[in-house]
Every structure is written in C-alpha cells, then in structure tokens.
Structure 1
Amino acid sequence: MGTAILENPGLGNVLASDGPATVRSLPHALELPEELQALQNTPVPASLKPAVEPAALHHRGFDDTEFWRRVPAYREVSRATFLDYKFQNKQSITAIDQLEKALGSLVSREFLEDVRAGIERAPMNLRLSPYTVSRIHWENPYADPIRIQFVPVASAQLPDHPRLSLDSLHEQADSPTPGLTHRYHDKALFLPLDVCPVYCRFCTRSYAIGGDTDTVSKARLKPNTARWHAAIAYLASRPEIEDVVVSGGDAFMLPAAHLETLGKMLLAIPHIRRIRIATKGPAVSPMKILSDHAWTDALLDMARRGRAAAKEVCLHTHFNSPTEISSITREAMDLLFREGLTVRNQSVMIRGVNDSAPVMTELVKRLSYMNVSSYYVYQHDMVSQVEDMRTTVGATCEIERRVRGSTAGFNTPLFVLDCPGGGGKRDIHSHDHYNPVTGISVYRAPSVCADKIYLYFDPVGLLPREGRERWARPAEHAPMMAEAVAAAGLSHLRLAVQ
C-alpha cells in the first residue's frame, strides 16, 4: 500500500495511506544536514495503519486568533496590551457588576441574576483574569467548561453531602506552624500567601483562600516574614523532609523578590532535594511568563541554582480543560522548556469540564505536545457548594481505563483520590471496597497512618434511587459507613475523623 495526504487546514497535511514515495515528497520537509541528505530519497514503507483522521490530531491546534475581541470590554484591546501581565492584573474582574459591564449583551439578564445569586452562596470570591473571561464561550455559558470552574450559578447548586467538612483533607491538623503542612514523611506543603490570580469554585483550601465570603470566614495566610521564617526553621529542623511544594494561594502572585528570597532559603537547607512551585497561572494568565521578566527570571534563576546544587526545581500547574490552552500558553511553555524547566500538570476531575475520556485524552495530549507532563488527575475533593462539580469514583475509574494507553506512559497522569480526613493521595483504583449504590469507597494509607481507614463519598445526586433514599434518612448514615468498612474487612481499624 502506498501513502496519501489528508488535507487538514490549521493542523497541516496528514500522512495517510496512498501518497508520496520518498521522504523528500512528504508534506513537511525534513531539515537535514548535508551529510544526511541521502535520507531524502529513501522510499516511505507501506503503511499498515489506516489513514489518520484530522480529529486524531486536534490536540496540535492552538488558537492564535485575537479571541479576546469577542468580549465587548476587550474589543479594542491590542495584542500587545492583552499580552501584558499588568493589564491582566489591573483588569481582573472581582464583582458581578464588573462582569456584567465586561460582557455587555453577550449574556442574558437571567444568566447574570443566576450568577449573582450563585456568588452570594459560594465559599470563594469571584476573581477572573481577562484571559479567562475571553476563553469562555458566553454564547452558551451554562455548558462552558471554564465558566463551570470559576463562575457559580445558583441554578446548578446542590445540597452539600451530609459528610462534608470545610477542611475535608485536614491540612490544618497536620500544620506545625501556620501555612505549613507536614503529612507525608519526606514532603511538606508551604503556603506563603492566600491569594490567586483567579479563584476556583472548587478550591480545597476555601477555608483560607480568597478572603471572607457571605458563607465562610477564613483563616489568614498573608505574606509575613515571621511566619515564613518559622516555616523555614521547621523545614530545616526536619532532616527527613526532601520535597517541598510551594503553593498557596498561588506562587504566581508572589513578587519576584519574594520568590527569589524564598528560593534561596529553601535551597540553603541541605536535605531539601526537590522544590515544586505550584501555580494555576499558566492556565489563566500565561502572558505573565512572557511579559513579567523579573518573575520569570526569578523562577528560572532558582531552577539554575538548584541544578548547580544537584537539586530539582520545577513548576506544577493546573489545566483542567483543553479550551484553557491557546497559542499564548504554548509560547509560554516553550519558553520554560527551552530554559530547561520541568513543568508538570495536575488536573481535577470535574463534572461538565473533563469527565469524559475524549476530553481528558485531548487535554493530556495537548499538554504533552507543549512539553507539559501530566502528573495527577484528582478526584474532586468534598468542598462546600460545589456538589454539582463532583463525579463518582466509579466514573473516574472508567475514564482512567480509557485514557491509559492513548499516549506514552510517562505522559499519562495518575488518577488519585486525596482521602478526606488526612490520608493523603491514593490511586483511585486502590480502594479496599467501593459500593456504587451508597457511593462509599474505603481507602487505607499505611504510610501515613497504619491503623486508620478513610472514606470518600460520591455525590448523592448521582447515586441510584436506593442510595439516594438511604442518604435522605440520617439514621442510615452510620450503618452505611459500617457496612462499607465491614465489606472491606477493616472493622479492626479506626475510622479517620471527618
């Protein structure tokens, strides 16, 4: 069989099954040095595969249009202005009235009132970058995967699960000093600040991040020298800690000088070998990497100093939907890659955003195409007022099965569940028991606490009728949990407090 060319505007010609006979006649010329030019005349072997469908390469397409001009507020904004991180910061939307003014006639009055009511009930404040606003398709906002993540609507909100708590992961219980969590033996989580470039509705740290709301009074993690020094002193005193995650809040919001200082303090601790800078910034304001030269230089300099000391400094980011990614994103990731910085992604499984195998596969492949490694996909934490965003453990397990094998193993994320009650991350498939009727899954975390078990609860609204009816009766709650623990054969272990 020969080869053929499928025309695919925007993605380039695709090699298929009846076409060019030699390397020279391929759609994309190979740039070879003179000593390898003979390769150009090599015949192309007959293909054993069917023609490549254009859709199979959709992940290679990056939106390079001036998409922000679809939003009335940004219609006259030039590319240079939009790509300036100062514009993104200054024009961030933090109130429903600002959003209404920015969108103009793009959305209905009914939708805006739905948002207004949603904000009044939400545990997180509203904060949107112009980039994020521009990536939302406001013609159908209820179904848009980016809107779902950041803009609440009252009409979609569901009652919280009866077993929910505000700090479901018990991070504060493992905190030796404010802003530092030490749960795993050799790893610590450092939260130097409590603000982000945008606020995710599903934030697991809604107990502390983003300021008080009408429904939540929050802990405070403001940048503070004394608090930072206390955290560094603790890290220096614990020789088992080799890995530190710098999160928040969001490291994107640290001034360059603070990022530089923090890096120097952490790198000075001999036993710390790995530093992860965690930020959602590349997904919501990628132009900062391209235009805030001081911040990017501070990050890259930290990585260079780390390499000189044989220590790893990398960036962990947070894309959930392929639609968050544009050519601006790719340019930013290309810059970091060329400078030798490792970038990994952590996603959250979110209903209506990425809870299908095709969407998750496209996200993983698009990330890998711009050299971002998919690290984790988290089962959605049990967070207040976002029950409409959670999926079942069973659904996530099935998506994982379908994603695995679609690309190289090192670019395939591990699907995990962060156990409520402080058990840490577990492979989603590693439950000792899972009951899809009651929605209760049972996990152990022997390396964290050998004598405890941890329960996760599927959204009640996604359970079959029998399960919904049992959860509607409070007297059934304890028996359902006891049944799950007994079915796992773990009644001799303690149940983690939730």
Structure 2
Amino acid sequence: MTADAPKSPTSLPVVADGGRSRPTQREHRDKPPVDPTTLIHRELVSDEFWRQIPAYKQIDEATFLDYRWQMKHSVTKVAKLLEVLQDLAHDDFISDIREGFHHAPMAVRVSPYLLSLIDWSDPYKDPIRRQFIPTNSELLPDHPKLDLDSLHELADAPVPGLTHRYPDKALFLALDTCPVYCRFCTRSYAVGLDTDEVEKVSLKPNNTRWDRVYEYIASRPELEDIVISGGDAYNLRSDHIRAIGERLLAMPNIRRLRFATKGPAVMPQKLLTDHAWVDALTDIVEQGRKVHKEVCLHTHFNHPNEITQITAQAMNKLFERGITVRNQSVLQRGVNDSTAAMGLLVKRLSHVNVHPYYVYMHDLVKGVDNLRTRLQTALDIEKDIRGMTAGFNTPTFVTDAPGGGGKRDVHSYDWYDRETGVSVYRSPNVDPNRFYCYFDPIDLLPEAGRARWADPAQHDGIIAEAIETAKHRPS
C-alpha cells in the first residue's frame, strides 16, 4: 500500500452530495496574539492620584474616600480653585477661567475627585475640565434657534416638576441641585443657583409639590415608568429615596422606576461611605423585586478617564446588591467625539458592570456651543463602535428632538441637510403631525451654510426648506 498524499494545509475535507462536493467543517486558523492596546479598558487608575494637587498632597485615602469631605471641599469659586491648584495652573489660564465663571449660564461646582483627574499640564484639552470648568476663550455664539428650555420640559409639565411627554413614561424632577454642575446641562433653566446669565426656575424638594406629582401619576393609568431625576437623585436624603420609592411602588400602574444620577461619575465615594443612602436604594430595589417591579440606577459617564479603581469599587458594591446600572452619555466636542474615546468609554463601562444605554446628541444649551458636534459625527462613531463589544453593551445614539419631540435614533432622520446643519425628525408617539429640527453648530458647517445662518432673514427659510424636503421624502 502506498501512503496517502499529505493534505494541503488549506484544503477542506469534503463529502459526496449528489455529484457535488461541500466542506464538512470550516478551516481552523490560529488567531494572532492579542494586541495589548485592545485591553487598556481594564487598566484603571489605582494610585493616590489626588496627591498631585497641592491642596490634597497630605490627604490620606480614608479622607479622600469620605463623600462628606468631597462635598465640603468642592470648588464653586475661582478663589477656591486658586487655593486648590496653587502653582499648577498658569496665570493666563486662571484669568480665562475667571471670565468664564462670570459668563457661565450654569453654576460651577466641581468635586476634588474630578479636579484630581484633570491634566493640569494641558487643561485646555483635558476632557474633564472642558465639561465642568468654563473658560471665556472657548465661548461661541449660541445657535440662533436655541431656547433656554430647548426640550420644552416645562411646556409638557402638568404639575411643577413632572414632565409627561411619552404615553407611558414621566420624568419626576424631585429637586434642583446636584453634587457637581455640568456646563452642558439641559436643565440649566432650573438646576443650581441663579447666575449672571440665567434666573432659575425653582424646583426645591418639598412634600407639597411632591404630593401634587404623586396625585397626577396615580390619576394617569397609562403611566408605568417613572424617572426620578432633578437635579440629581444623589442629593436626595436616604429618607427621601425611601419615601419616593415606596410611594411610587405602591401605585398599581407603576412598573418601573429609574433613579437618575451623575454621582457615580463625579463622586463615587458616596457609594462607598454613605451607607444609609446605598441601603435605602437597595431596600427600594428589593421591595420592587418582591412585587415584580424594576428599580434601577441610571448614571452619566462621558469619558473613560472618569472611571478609576474607586469607580470599580463603587460599582462592585451596587453589583453585589443586584442593582442594575445603565449609562447615558452626551456626545461632546473635544471630550468623546472620536471612535477611540467613545470605544474606550463603552468598553470600560462594560468592564465595571455599567451598561452603556444612550449616547445623546448635545442639546442646544446656552453658552456651550463649543461642546456641540455635528449629527454626522454621531452617525460615523455609531457605525465604528457597533460590533466592538456585546450588543447589550453597545449604546443607542439618539437625538432628543428640540421642541419636545423626544428621543429619536440619530439614523432615523427624515432629512439631513449637511450644508445648513438641519436634521428633521418625526415623533409619531408624541405628535404624528409635527416635524422636529436639530441644528448642527454653525462654526462646523461649510462656508455656504455659515453664510446663510449669518443672515437672520434666511433663518425661517432654512428651516422651512428642510421640513418641506422631509415631507416629500419617501418613508
């Protein structure tokens, strides 16, 4: 007998099939060694990074992890920032900040945790600084179609502090304060103290206002889903968490509660050291589970640098207690408007058991047009990161349509004019007969688009053209 001829390494075994041949198994190919750069989402800052800040040089770990110390030492004024940074920031940058504070529509409040994560050797480019500390030099003119309450939350409020827009969901604004204040806050019309630019609508936490909210929710049988926000649920006392949770869970129509907070991204220490608050949230989650109702936490990380080993410890504590955490990011220029930054954020969130849920187009907010991006940026990044990780850890990119149209998938526009930057959306479950327009920042438009917006007489025509085109586009 002769030995069988060796098989080619690329050949596949075949079987007879009616005169045809077909492979019985796929060829096995060895994957190349993993590229170490694809695993950097697992590398979390774990040293005592805060000691690089002059004012925190002598602060030990126990003190830095105390949420009360974080709150007490949060920065709200330029003088306090100077005291904290000392010689870390140049004089010209401090002067720029001083003017930025004066013109900011949003009150400024930044935790020591965040200040310690900023790269003070290049603060203008730092993605955390850009979100929380304003500079005058970065200011751009607001878009001419900006409205202080761009999402028309007040117009959709049947009682103060409750927005009922979608058929089965309502937004309960329980209070008007936060552990830190984001420059890009949609609710700069209400959140925080009055500024030189904006006199705020008051949404203080009190039982009289809350009772009106509860009465309305109970009176609407179609309501099943309540988001408890503000402001920020982090700033609710533990007894408030219990009172709100128990009152809403007792309503037969309510099936889902979401406590919304940016806290884990800006002050994770609270989850590690405010035991009463975490216990209250845990109790409401467990009460909900016993009556077959979902209670979860929605949070707001925007950049992978916000996620440290402290974050991981805090998220582990919630995970051990069976608390689901989902994340909603805002797409921001110079912060996360690249595939690299957004991809790393998504992977790092997944690594600490936080589900990436939404990425929002930046709302039209007063004083921060320099942070907004084009819709095309969102379309491109969404395509790039899809398939990077599991589908349930891949966020949906959405536009919260100005004028109260609600959240629309960025790809679902009826028309997008890239010259004028106008994208047009329909929102059948809000108002099937209306068209809602989102507007790209003017400074990023081509020259022809910038020229048209420079002429106020053309503004109405620009919008009318976009809507008219959308009406005649095939569905």
TM-score range, shorter chain: over 0.9
Measured after TM superposition, the shift of residue 395 of structure 1 is 1.1
Structure 2 residue aligned with 1:284: 266
Q: 1:392 aligns with which of 369, 374, 382?
A: 374
Pairs within 5 Å for 1:180-199:
180-199=162-181
Structure 2 residue aligned with 1:127: 109
Question: For the residues of structure 2 that align with 1:61 and 1:403, how far apart are their CA atoms?
Answer: 20
Measured after TM superposition, the shift of residue 490 of structure 1 is 5.5
Q: 1:380 aligns with which of 362, 367, 372?
A: 362
| Equivalent position amino acid for 1:123 in 2 | P
The Cα offsets for residues 362-410 of structure 1, whole Å up to 9 and x where unpaired, read as 0000000111000000000000100000000011111111011111111
Number of aligned pairs? 447
Measured after TM superposition, the shift of residue 48 of structure 1 is 2.3
Q: 1:263 aligns with which of 245, 263, 268?
A: 245
Measured after TM superposition, the shift of residue 210 of structure 1 is 0.6
Structure 1 residue aligned with 2:191: 209
Pairs within 5 Å for 1:240-255:
240-255=222-237
**Which runs of 4 or more aligned residues in structure 1 lie more than 4 Å from their structure 2 counterparts after TM superposition?**
none
TM-score by length of 1: 0.89
Structure 2 residue aligned with 1:108: 90
| Equivalent position amino acid for 2:180 in 1 | V
Measured after TM superposition, the shift of residue 47 of structure 1 is 6.1
Question: For the residues of structure 1 that align with 2:384 and 2:145, how far apart are their CA atoms?
Answer: 30
Measured after TM superposition, the shift of residue 486 of structure 1 is 1.6
Pairs within 5 Å for 1:140-179:
140-179=122-161
| Equivalent position amino acid for 2:402 in 1 | P
The Cα offsets for residues 153-199 of structure 1, whole Å up to 9 and x where unpaired, read as 00011000011110000000000111100000000000110000000
Question: For the residues of structure 1 that align with 2:259 and 2:29, how far apart are their CA atoms?
Answer: 44
- SS across alignment from 1:190: strand
The Cα offsets for residues 74-122 of structure 1, whole Å up to 9 and x where unpaired, read as 1000000000111011111111110111001000011011011011111
Structure 2 residue aligned with 1:24: none
Q: 2:37 aligns with which of 26, 32, 55?
A: 55
Is 2:351 the counterpart of 1:360? no
- Show structure 2 runs of 5+ residues with no match: 1-26
Structure 2 residue aligned with 1:427: 409
Question: For the residues of structure 1 that align with 2:432 and 2:438, how far apart are their CA atoms?
Answer: 18
- Show structure 1 runs of 5+ residues with no match: 1-44, 492-498
Is 2:456 the counterpart of 1:474? yes
Q: Against the structure 1 CA distance between its residues 47 and 67, is the aligned structure 2 distance closer, same or farther, given a 3 Å change threshold?
A: farther
Q: 1:81 aligns with which of 55, 58, 63?
A: 63
Structure 2 residue aligned with 1:451: 433
Q: 1:306 aligns with which of 278, 288, 291?
A: 288
Q: 2:182 aligns with which of 184, 200, 206?
A: 200
Structure 2 residue aligned with 1:483: 465
Question: For the residues of structure 2 that align with 1:424 and 1:172, how far apart are their CA atoms?
Answer: 14
- SS across alignment from 2:240: helix
Structure 1 residue aligned with 2:100: 118
Question: For the residues of structure 2 that align with 1:357 and 1:429, how far apart are their CA atoms?
Answer: 17
Question: For the residues of structure 1 that align with 2:472 and 2:234, how far apart are their CA atoms?
Answer: 43
Measured after TM superposition, the shift of residue 258 of structure 1 is 1.0
- SS across alignment from 1:173: coil
Structure 2 residue aligned with 1:342: 324
Question: For the residues of structure 2 that align with 1:269 and 1:367, how far apart are their CA atoms?
Answer: 33
Question: For the residues of structure 2 that align with 1:241 and 1:383, how far apart are their CA atoms?
Answer: 29
Structure 1 residue aligned with 2:447: 465
Structure 2 residue aligned with 1:319: 301
Q: Which structure has the larger Rg over C-alpha atoms? A: 2
TM-score by length of 2: 0.93
- Give RMSD over aligned pairs: 1.1
| Equivalent position amino acid for 2:368 in 1 | V
| Equivalent position amino acid for 1:253 in 2 | N
- SS across alignment from 2:178: coil
The Cα offsets for residues 100-150 of structure 1, whole Å up to 9 and x where unpaired, read as 110010000110110110111111011011111111111110000000000
| Equivalent position amino acid for 1:124 in 2 | M
Q: 1:410 aligns with which of 385, 392, 398?
A: 392
Question: For the residues of structure 1 that align with 2:221 and 2:472, how far apart are their CA atoms?
Answer: 34
Question: For the residues of structure 2 that align with 1:490 and 1:119, how far apart are their CA atoms?
Answer: 46
- SS across alignment from 1:483: helix
Is 2:312 the counterpart of 1:330? yes
The Cα offsets for residues 197-221 of structure 1, whole Å up to 9 and x where unpaired, read as 0000000000000110000001001
Measured after TM superposition, the shift of residue 60 of structure 1 is 0.5
- SS across alignment from 1:177: coil
Measured after TM superposition, the shift of residue 489 of structure 1 is 2.1
- SS across alignment from 2:155: helix
The Cα offsets for residues 237-287 of structure 1, whole Å up to 9 and x where unpaired, read as 111000000000000001111111111111111110100000000000001
Question: For the residues of structure 2 that align with 1:47 and 1:121, how far apart are their CA atoms?
Answer: 60
Question: For the residues of structure 2 that align with 1:150 and 1:57, how far apart are their CA atoms?
Answer: 29
- SS across alignment from 1:174: coil
Question: For the residues of structure 2 that align with 1:486 and 1:196, how far apart are their CA atoms?
Answer: 41
- SS across alignment from 1:259: helix
